[in-house]
Amino acid sequence: MAVSLKKAGLNNFLILEKAGEVGGTWRENHYPGAECDVPSSLYSFSFERKPDWNYTWSEQGQILDYLKHSTRKYGLYDHIRFDCELTSARFQNNKTWQVVTRKGANLCARHLIIAVGQLHHPSIPSIQGQAEFAGPQFHSARWQHDVDFNGKRVAVIGNAASAVQFIPELAKMAGKLTVFQRSANWVSRKLDRPRRPWQQALVRHLPLLDRLARLKVFLRNELIVFPAMKGNRLSSALLRLSCKSYLNSTIKDPTLRKRLTPDYPVGAKRVLVVDGYYEALAQDNVRLETLPIGQISAQGIHTQDGSVHPADIIVYGTGFTTNPFLKGLDITGINNIKLSEHWREGAHAYLGMQTAGFPNLFFMYGPNTNLGHNSIVLMSEAQAHYIVQAIQHLSESGFEQLEVKPAVEDEYNEVIQGRLQQMVWQKIDDSWYKDGERVTNNWPGRVMEYQRRTRHFQPENHNFQ
């Protein structure tokens, strides 16, 4: 977003960053084995190519370095106020936003762009007896690197995207590792491999190769993976075959294999792309437990059948709280409308970026813009392009305020929710994609469609003052 503003000559902006450095999820998540589940060629900015990724699928540390490099290169550090967390914002009669930070600072802005992301509030289940546990216990997003796992009895609660990455690393160190699984996931093998120096040099001197690699991954996801999200039989069968092949070739124990086989359609939850997860579960020192947890005691974890699983350390791989949207932010629009009340029945926004009653406010990675099949970077760049156009149009029009028309937003969201009813995400009740019965997170189309719809700002869909 900031790079798009600068390229458009809009240099009068301030970025509020709650932490002491840039990096977002790649700063917060530094657990062993942390890496991206989207190939490096596509999980990077279109305007800042990187030919020397160490792996086909990048590791956390290199992604964080890439983000810092990009911030320096485009002169963004001068625009950032670190350790400055937004807590509330109110639209004023003078058509500006009054912003208040956690430390009490008051700021005034003509436009407010909220780009806080969705995966930064760790979700830790409330389990009876947690406080009694004698050893270390922490969420994967708050990893304690001073904890020694060697030879210890380790319990991992959860088995989603983060857990499947750090479980193989813990299996190498722990004396005994017990993984508590609530539901199985569809898992596909990465087949990741290092990128040799000659490969990096080739891409550096022939940038077209990088662009072709990016296009290849993009089209595969759009044309082969996305149809599975719509329940297409052929695409679903191919994706299911890939997952089952990895499971069957790695897990020989039929009982364990059955426990690891999901009972819902492939794609209904995000397909996990990882190397080493099933191999770790097949190790002699690793046990998969599927019985519900009853309580935690000083000694370990008790399942509801009365069994006790001794543990020295507990790690929560239980993901993040994504609903309600913008948790912890107090946003007030015109006529004292609270955004939390406006979204009481589920978050919604025109193109995922604007909602009626909140002028000059834009969201990035807002409602119904998450993807289950492709790189979120593509959506973010499309949103940045659209928001810049909106700001430029308002400036050139002579008006001070723009707001999406309520009827336009309502019609848009009615269509989106109708399309979402046809997606596989509706086939299950428990998913971070959903807020109750409503899918509030995901975009029901291809990235290409979203890019087309956000290519041109449409003033006729807005009210101006």
Phi, psi of 365 (to 5 degrees): 60, 45
Please give the pLDDT value at position 323. 73
* Per-residue confidence (pLDDT) for residue 324, from 0 to 100: 73
Q: What angle do CA 355, 86, 65 make, to 5 degrees?
A: 100
Note whether 76 and 175 are same-domain residues: no
Residue 436 has pLDDT above 80, yes or no: no
Return the CATH number at 357.
3.50.50.60
* Whether residue 290 is found in the same domain as residue 212: yes
Percent of the chain predicted with pLDDT > 70? 98
pLDDT score for 432: 66
- Which residue type occupies 148? D
Say yes or no: 445 and 370 in one domain. Answer: yes
- Please tell me which residue, 396 or 118, carries the higher pLDDT value: 396
The dihedrals phi and psi of 89, each to the nearest 5 degrees, come to -150, 140
Please check whether residues 242 and 183 belong to one and the same domain. yes
Query: What is the arithmetic mean of pLDDT over 2-6?
Result: 98
Predicted pLDDT of residue 336: 95
Rounded Cα gap, residues 186 and 101, in angstroms: 41
Residues 6 or more apart whose Cβ sits within 8 Å of residue 246: 187, 188, 189, 278
Q: Is the pLDDT of residue 433 over 90?
A: no
The Cα-based distances of 309 to 152, 223, 291, 317 in angstroms read 13, 45, 12, 17
Q: What is the rounded average pLDDT of the residues 49-55?
A: 92
Residue 380 lies inside a defined structural domain of this protein = yes
Same domain, 187 and 268: yes
How far is 162 from 65, CA to CA, in rounded Å?
20
Of the two residues 430 and 307, the one the predictor is more confident about is 307
Residue 378 class from Cβ within 10 Å (0-12 exposed, 13-18 middle, 19+ buried)?
buried
Answer whether 233's CB lies under 8 Å from 392's CB: no
Reported confidence tier of residue 121, pLDDT bands at 50, 70, 90: confident
Domain edge (last residue) among 282, 316, 350: 316
216 and 311 inside one domain: yes
Domain co-membership, 102 together with 167:
no
**pLDDT above 90 as % of the chain:** 91
Any domain includes 201: no
Q: Which residue has the tokens 């997170």?
A: 441
Stretch 380-405: mean pLDDT: 97
39-52: burial string, b at 16+ Cβ within 10 Å, e else = bbbbbbeeeeebbe
This model's pTM is above 0.85: yes
Domain-embedded: residue 218: yes
What is the full DSSP assignment across 154-190? EEEE--STTHHHHHHHHHHH-SEEEEE-SS---EE--
Check residue 328 and give its pLDDT.
Answer: 84
Residues 64, 186 share a domain? no
> How many Å apart are CA 440 and CA 418, to the nearest integer?
12
* Same structural domain, 225 and 310: yes
Reply yes or no on whether the pLDDT at 434 is more than 70. no
Structure tokens, 260? 């690891």
More confident residue, 440 or 177: 177
Domain that includes residue 350, residue range: 2-121+323-464
Same domain, 329 and 309: no
Among the candidates 269, 289, 316, a domain finishes at 316
C-beta separation of 416 from 33 below 8 A: no
Give me the chain's average pLDDT, please: 95
User: How many domains does the structure of the chain reveal?
Assistant: 2
Decide if pLDDT at 48 tops 70.
yes
83-105 pLDDT, tens digit each:
999 999 999 999 999 999 999 99
Q: What is the pLDDT of residue 435?
A: 65
Contact 175, 254 (CB under 8 A): no
Distance of CA 341 to the CA centre of its chain: 24
Gap between the Cα atoms of 423 and 267, Å rounded: 9
Over 90: is that where the pLDDT of 368 sits? yes
Task: Please tell me the least confidently modeled range out of 36-45, 207-216, 323-332, 404-413.
Answer: 323-332
H helices of 192-282, in order, are 197-205, 207-220, 226-229, 233-250, 254-259, 277-281
Q: How far apart are CA 287 and CA 176, in angstroms?
A: 8
- With vertex at residue 243, the alpha carbon angle to CA 241 and CA 247, rounded to the nearest 5 degrees, is 110
**pLDDT band per the 50, 70, 90 thresholds, residue 228:** very high
Q: Which of 280, 295, 316 is the last residue of a domain?
A: 316
Q: In angstroms, rounded to a whole number, what is the distance separating the alpha carbons of residues 296 and 311?
A: 10
How high is the pLDDT of residue 426?
87
Which amino acid is it at 218?
F
Pair (421, 352) in one structural domain: yes
Residue 202: inside a domain: no
Structural domain contains residue 450 = yes
The answer to whether residue 321 scores a pLDDT higher than 90 is: no
Q: Does residue 1 have a pLDDT over 70?
A: yes
Question: Cα dihedral sign for 284, 279, 282, 317?
Answer: positive
The mean pLDDT value for 240-248 works out to: 97
Same structural domain for residues 237 and 158?
yes
pLDDT confidence of 439, banded at 50, 70, 90? confident
Confidence band (pLDDT; 50, 70, 90) for 427?
A: confident
Which residues 6+ apart lie within 8 Å of 273 measured at CB? 37, 57, 187, 188, 189, 190
Band the pLDDT of 429: cuts 50, 70, 90: confident
Give the pLDDT confidence score for residue 317 in this predicted structure: 97
Distance from C-alpha of 17 to C-alpha of 86, rounded to nearest angstrom: 8
Q: What is the pLDDT of residues 159-209, one digit of tens each?
A: 989 999 999 999 999 999 999 999 999 999 998 999 999 999 999 999 999
> Is 32 domain-assigned?
yes
Helix (H, G, I), strand (E, B) or coil at 142: helix
- CA-CA distance, 39 to 149, in Å (whole number)? 30
